[in-house]
Structure 1
């Protein structure tokens, strides 16, 4: 990394927080560590970070509430939730609030680092992509800026939303296999990751609904097809 990735890390269990922070710093990351949601939200709004890593259960303001407030002014910086909770409803809620990934405790540092790097800039593969902008139906899709534009109205996408739309566009009018997306963007095709992908597909359908010629069709048991 020519410039260290900057991470906002929020964890109220200080022993764990210090271990993870020190481990990330030892591997070349710049880490801003907080133990409560209120101070972390203030830092997030005042500084630029490449990734936010948020524990869900936090004092003063929980991770979900913090993400909800942060997304009002920033839709693009990736968010990873850390939690011991494993209920499907919690996973879905996290993604609906604008989360990009979900890591269950206990987790390995290697797994966290892989996910941070992926979200911070690898998955769109911008260096190898010949496309910077394309048209998805009537929408102009800026891949690197992560924006959709139609009739002068601009919609900012999260990093993961842009990733999924980019993969759908590359396979437009063909079937994009669910397993391919899950393996490439989420790391595996587990049940929880599959549910989170469904949330992102639902979001993209909503964003693209002003052009009725666009359809994202569910190919049952296989994947999705972006029809233009």
Structure 2
């Protein structure tokens, strides 16, 4: 199966180089210099496997574009390109629902690795598709966390993190182990992004007081999901 990539990048030189490199890796790339041209595609033949969106674009920035795409395609994986090193940009992207980010100019091999890691999680088949977590039900196929009071659409990264935490129920997990296994890198920004995801999971489980994801300073997290 050919992997189809949606690329939104207004810089003509960088966009062309990136498109050509991705095509050398056997990806099928549809490149949009004007992000607004993507909007009609959402209503028709949107058959992409992953989106790579530049943040700083005229008319429609990458954050706004991602919100529109994820509203129509909630489980669509997105990787942000940013020319900035400001952590606010990175954390904003993660809060929107992006799966990853990479700074420009990016190392082509690192970009390919990040794309493949996302696709490995997105396209992998799972034998168990539903998990009972206290008063919640996790449906990994639909990326849906359901509770009688609300239904929450998860990102791929949120689902993967939650499944990883489930493996260590009633145990302590080291931060470094989570970062090494799920992010495959361990630096300041990935550590901060992990904190963002943990905070979001705590908020998602707010309707069940027995579910606890407790931070242990300098160590990691202690997980307590009720037995069913």
Q: State the shift of 1:152 in Å.
A: 8.0
Contiguous gaps of at least 5 residues in structure 1: none
Q: State the shift of 1:10 in Å.
A: 0.9
Contact 1:133 1:140 in 2 (8 A): yes
1:31 corresponds, among 26, 29, 41, to 29
Listed as ranges, the matches of 1:183-198 within 5 Å are 183-198=180-195
Partner of 2:118: 119
The separation in 2 between residues aligned to 1:99 and 1:23, in whole angstroms, is 22
Contact 2:77 2:98 in 1 (8 A): yes
With structure 1 as the length reference, what TM-score do the two structures score?
A: 0.91
With structure 2 as the length reference, what TM-score do the two structures score?
A: 0.91
Task: Tell me the matched-pair count.
Answer: 224
Q: Deviations over 1:137-182 (max 9, x none)?
A: 1211122332112238532211111011110111111112211221
Partner of 1:59: 58
Listed as ranges, the matches of 1:171-190 within 5 Å are 171-190=168-187
Q: Deviations over 1:55-78 (max 9, x none)?
A: 011121010111122222322111
Aligned residue for 1:72, secondary structure, equals: helix
Aligned residue for 2:146, secondary structure, equals: strand
Closer, same or farther: CA 44–194 of 1 in aligned 2, 3 Å: farther
The separation in 2 between residues aligned to 1:183 and 1:42, in whole angstroms, is 39
Deviates more, 1:97-106 or 1:140-149: 140-149
Deviates more, 1:144-153 or 1:197-206: 144-153
Contiguous gaps of at least 5 residues in structure 2: none
Contact 1:168 1:225 in 2 (8 A): no
The separation in 2 between residues aligned to 1:125 and 1:213, in whole angstroms, is 32
Q: State the shift of 1:126 in Å.
A: 4.2
Contact 2:130 2:140 in 1 (8 A): yes
Q: State the shift of 1:206 in Å.
A: 1.3
Partner of 1:102: 101
Aligned residue for 2:72, secondary structure, equals: coil
Partner of 2:220: 223
Closer, same or farther: CA 113–222 of 1 in aligned 2, 3 Å: same
